[in-house]
Amino acid sequence: RGKRRDAATLAQLTSDPHSPNVERASTVRNMDDWYTAFGAKPGEKLYLAPKDRVKIW
């Protein structure tokens, strides 16, 4: 399920509103409140440094 040809990936990126899995941002990793609620710390699998978190608004 996770293997795709480059052409198929490009077609999906340009025509489908849903990005391929590899291109999606992990939502919780980018929410500051999630770190407060669950106490994720540097070195843990889901931790993402504040400077690397996606900010949309």
pTM (predicted TM-score):
0.55
Q: Are 1 and 8 in contact (CB under 8 A)?
A: no
Q: Which of 53, 3, 56 is nearest to 31 (CA)?
A: 53
Predicted local distance difference test score (pLDDT) of residue 19? 77
Predicted local distance difference test score (pLDDT) of residue 33? 94
Q: What is the pLDDT of residues 1-57, one digit of tens each?
A: 567 688 888 888 889 888 777 777 678 899 999 999 999 999 999 999 999 998 887
